[in-house]
Structure 1
Amino acid sequence: MRTKFPMGTNNKAIVKRQVVALSQLVSRASLASAMGKTYGGQRDTYTALGYKKTLQFSDYAVRYLRQDIAKRIVDAPVDSTWRKKPEIKEKGEKDATAFDEAWEELVKAKRLWNKFIRVDKLAGIGRYAILVLGFDDDQELSQPVEGATELLYAQPYSEGSILITQYDEDVKSERFGKPLMYKITMLDTVTTSSSVTREAYTTRSGLGKEVHWTRVLHVADGALEQDVYGIPRLEDVYNRLENLEIVVGGAAEMFWRGAFPGLAFEADPEADIGDQDMSDLQEEIEEYIHGLRRYMRVQGVKVNSLTPQVADPKGTVEVILQMISAARGIPVRILTGSERGELASSQDESNWLSRIAERREDFAEAFVLRPFIDHLIDIGVLPDPVEGYEILWGDLLSLSEKEQAEVTKIKTEALATYTNAVGADLIIPPEVYLKRFFGFTNDEIEQMQEEIGIIFDRAKEEQDLINEEEEAARLERAGAPA
């Protein structure tokens, strides 16, 4: 299909873009043709193993929708990243400001967290995704935003619904190399079809709209040479996903066939079996296999049960999952939801959350939240914060209530053991012990010492009072004046 360009684009520019696009296609084709080549190009392992050399968005999309682990690979980092929503507020202000109130109202009214999660997932299926931003200005979608005061909607679209029709070619522009105009298919056959096929994604049809870049939030995950195209999360593990599909599907077929491997009927060479007898036997065999009959008349025929050939696919599946885990940085137990081994699972969870903490700042904040908020401030939809704003993420590694209770119990038992141990304070002074093993600061230790001193003084006063009362009672019993 021939690419359409905005009005006013001259023929020289069109030819230039077509040459660039052709050069990119040739480069990709050359790279794809080299995949799987070994022994100096004499052996093509990709062809021998049935792997596709060139992957399209439709390949990733269908696998995401139809293969369990593929969906998990795309969704797992997104779900963990946005599970604890960040707090976004104006810097240096304790009370809620106009910016704070406007942002909170916008988040609730437009369900922005849900939109961010969806565009993040779509960006991982393909090379990029976008949020189309609808404003209350009087301009068409193909025109720059001007005079907007309200965000009406934010609609996510995947790469399969988008065509970038124009790029910024001005080398002195801060947007050099980035899209200027998009063409978006807003209605397509996939959204109304119950059948998800690769053909459905390659024959999309619907209402095409030209959209200016000022009405778009462009999100690309894993971009390397430029900011426009990222790397699909399924690309580097696509071959392993095909292997997993073959192993799991083949195992199901193997167990299906192995449950009833079949029967071998051996006719006695000395038996007199006519054509009618063979026809009747054939009919009985069919009824036994496909019907409810559980007996056969086999006079003159010996029946042998075939030995099932069933292999355990567990080892092969585990190897494939480990390869996927290594490539995507997702622990196998996180990938499959397994909790075997408390210590190993806790360590995997800790490592995974550390990666997610990095992703929240390096991707979610840097390429989703800040570009979105900054754009709305520039347009005038959000008030301009005087000292700027800050994005505060919650602590992913914070302990649960159960874990906190267990830690408190362990620390209490350790402290009791320390205080009851004779001479322990001579080896490790109390101040050092509290600071090193309990993490208390010097100020906190001094405060505890002051409170302990107050408690001791109060206890001494109470004991002195008790002693005085006992002495007075003793003297009274002895008949002496108090």
Structure 2
Amino acid sequence: MFGGALPTMSNDAKRATAWADYGYPELLEFNNFHSMFKRNGIARAGVMRHVEKTWETNPWVVEGMEGDKPHSETRREREVARALRQLSFWNRMQAADWRGRVGRYSALYLVFDDSQHPSRPVTRPVKLLKMQPLFEAQLEPLEFEQDQASPEYGNPTSYQFMPQAVQTGRDERQSLTIHADRIHIIAEGADDDSIYGIPANEAGFNDLLTIEKIVGAGGEGFWKTARGAFSLHSTGKDGIDVQGLAQMFGVEVDQVADKLNETAADLSAGMDKLLMLGDMEAKALAYSLPSPEHFFAVAIQSYAAGVSCPLPILLGQQIAQRSSEENSREWAQTIMTRRRRFTVPNAEGLVSKLMRFGALPEFEFYIGWDDLTDATLEQKLGNAKIMSEVNKASLGTGEPPAFTSEEIRDVAGYEGAPDTDDLDDGIPEGEEDGETTGTAA
């Protein structure tokens, strides 16, 4: 159970037990979030969409300080890139990233070749052999830093690793004590320097339960409408012949009611079932199902707001081209913010740790990553074409070209000056000195 969690039965002061009435749990544990992630497609999307977009491409380690002029790949950059590739480093980071969004945190268990028991600090220098991503349930804090002068005061100094905890629940019989040197924590939302972040589905958990109820009730209602439901009525003058029913079912009189319930349950379980009625008749019951679209829309919109994801992207829908482009642009900006504020600092912390331990060559570095908000090649070429047309229109009026060829090439995504003089100042060949073949619109 999440430590320090306070009961929250409702935010409605007039109805203190409203959440219990709605069927919402009072306290949320890791198992709640993990089960929802495994069994609910929308909950899974709420966890994975951010991670999938964040790791759409891999970052790289750059020697120097951020803001330095671009340079060719250095020898030490190549060494680090080779080492990280051999460890599937970025894939392991991605795997730990989505596990961290399921609960409050996840971890990478760093396995070194220092021949020390995992409960001991790392001896330097070492070689990193493996990075194992772990769920919160697999790794619990065991001991904490007690030195109030330490910058790590209050954080774990050791952990209890329970490999099978996610599948079988807490099982201390199969556990291992691991020193904090060998653990890298990933906790989105932990902006208080602790290891405890915020589960991605915490804010929208009630909405997910509402969606399950709507979808489940709709499916069950459709089944019952298609199958048909019945009520049983006596056809005899003296009421129900319990003795006759007992004889027909081959049970004692006091077991007739249970047998009728079994018969009704058996009928509901399949399409090709028959009722043994004796001296009773079955009358069909009519169901009137409310349209679920409105109720579903309210819940799914609330959930999308809770995970900060545009609804069309969350559900994988493309409603209209303009709407899709606006959602994609906003989504790319959201993920760039996530990269900048969470993913890159976390990755830099792990790389720095490995450099301190001698697992990677040590030098000043930063994490480089492509920009998700950059224009596509098609968009860049379109912008370059517009700039060329502006130059053409300027020439027709006797004005000098507005853009140089270098500027146009830069916008198109090509560096350096062109190899020929055919496109000087961005003007097509044969149109110098006012020799234009048409008028720009």
Q: TM-score, normalised by structure 1?
A: 0.70
Equivalent residue number for residue 351 of structure 1: 330
Instruction: Select between 258-267 and 96-105 the one with higher mean Cα deviation.
Output: 258-267
Identity %: 23
2:110 is paired with a residue of what secondary structure? strand
1:384-395 aligned at under 5 Å gives the runs 384-385=362-363, 388-395=364-371
Gaps of 5+ in 1: 2-23, 192-199, 295-300, 461-482
Residues 301-337 of structure 1: per-residue CA shift (max 9 Å, x gap): 9998654422321221111110011121101111110
The answer (yes or no) to whether the contact 2:138–2:165 under 8 Å persists in 1 is no
Contact 2:109 2:182 (8 Å CA) reproduced? yes
Note if 1:404 corresponds to 2:379.
yes
| 2:255 alignment counterpart | none
**In structure 2, what is the Cα distance between the partners aligned to 1:334 and 1:453?**
42
Which residue does the alignment assign to 1:473? Answer: none
Instruction: Label 1:139 to 1:86 Cα distance change in 2 as closer, same or farther (>3 A).
Output: same
Residue 9 of structure 1 corresponds to: none
Q: Distance in 1 between matches of 2:216 and 2:428?
A: 72
Match of 1:117 in 2: 94
Q: Deviations over 1:370-406 (max 9, x none)?
A: 0111011111111122xx12322112123445x438x
In our comparison, the structure showing a higher alpha carbon Rg is 1
Q: Find the counterpart in structure 2 of residue 382 from structure 1.
A: 360
Instruction: Name the SS for the 1:43 alignment partner.
Output: coil
d(CA) in 2 for partners of 1:209, 1:113: 26
How far apart, in 2, do the equivalents of 1:80 and 1:255 lie? 37
Q: SS at the partner of 1:53?
A: coil
* 2:289 alignment counterpart: 310
Which residue of structure 2 aligns with residue 32 of structure 1? 7
Give yes or no for the alignment of 1:53 onto 2:26: yes
Q: What is the letter of the counterpart of residue 36 of structure 1?
A: S
* Alignment match of 1:338 (pick from 317, 321, 324): 317
Find 1:67's aligned residue among 36, 40, 45.
Answer: 40
Decide whether the 8 Å contact of 1:260 with 1:308 is kept in 2: no
Q: Deviations over 1:141-175 (max 9, x none)?
A: 11111133311111111110112111112222122
Higher normalized helix content (fraction of residues): 1
Q: Is the alpha carbon distance of 1:414 and 1:155 closer, same or farther for their aligned partners in structure 2, counting shifts above 3 Å? A: closer
The TM-score normalised by the length of structure 2 is 0.76
Quote the residue 1:173 is aligned against.
150
Give the whole-Å Cα distance in 2 for the aligned partners of 1:390 and 1:447: 40
Number of matched pairs: 402
Shift of 1:213: 1.1
Instruction: Judge which range, 141-150 or 351-360, deviates more.
Output: 141-150
Give yes or no for the alignment of 1:209 onto 2:208. Answer: no
Label 1:429 to 1:146 Cα distance change in 2 as closer, same or farther (>3 A): same
Letter in 2 for 1:311: P
Q: Distance in 1 between the 2:370 and 2:342 partners?
A: 16
Distance 1:105 1:144 in 2: 26
Q: CA deviation at 1:288?
A: 11
Give 5+ residue unaligned stretches, structure 2. 249-262, 275-279, 436-441
CA distance in 2, matches of 1:173, 1:55: 32
Alignment match of 1:188 (pick from 164, 178, 184): 164
- 2:187–2:195 Cα contact (<8 Å) kept: yes
Give the 3 Å change call, closer, same or farther, for CA 453–148 of structure 1 in structure 2: closer
* CA-atom RMSD in angstroms: 4.4
- Of 43, 50, 75 in structure 2, the residue corresponding to residue 77 of structure 1 is 50
* Alpha-carbon distance, 1:93 to partner: 8.0
Q: Check whether the contact 1:126–1:159 (CA below 8 A) recurs between aligned residues.
A: yes
Between the aligned partners of 2:116 and 2:236, the Cα distance in structure 1 is 92
CA contact (8 A) 1:89 1:99 kept: no
Q: 2:82 is matched with which residue?
A: 105
The one-letter amino acid of 2:352's match is D
Letter in 2 for 1:261: G
Q: Do residues 222 (structure 1) and 195 (structure 2) align?
A: no
Q: Report the CA distance between 1:225 and its aligned residue.
A: 3.5
Paired residue secondary structure (1:397): coil
1:126-165 equivalent positions in 2, closer than 5 A: 126-165=103-142
- Distance (Å, rounded) in 1 between the aligned partners of 2:298 and 2:288: 22
Q: Secondary structure at the match of 1:133?
A: strand
One-letter amino acid of the counterpart of residue 367, structure 2: I
Q: What letter is aligned with 2:95?
A: R
Name the counterpart of 1:20.
Answer: none
Aligned equivalents of 1:95, 1:414: Cα separation in 2: 30
DSSP 3-state at the match of 1:384: coil
Deviations 1:64-99 (A, max 9, x none): 111111111111111111111112221378444342
Query: What secondary structure, in the 3-state scheme, does the structure 2 residue paired with 1:119 have?
Result: helix
Residue 321 and residue 434 in structure 1: after superposition, are their counterparts in 2 closer, same or farther (change >3 A)? farther
Amino acid of the structure 1 residue aligned with 2:315: T
Distance between the aligned counterparts of 2:339 and 2:349, measured in 1? 14
CA distance in 2 between partners of 1:293 and 1:457 (Å): 88
Equivalent pair of 2:145/2:157 in contact (CA under 8 Å) = yes
* 1:80 and 1:356 in contact (8 A); partners too: yes
* CA spacing shift, 1:292–1:374, aligned 2, 3 Å: closer
* SS class of match (2:7): helix
1:370 and 2:348 matched: yes
AA aligned opposite 1:394: D
For the residues of structure 1 that align with 2:339 and 2:160, how far apart are their CA atoms?
30
Q: Distance in 1 between matches of 2:389 and 2:72?
A: 44
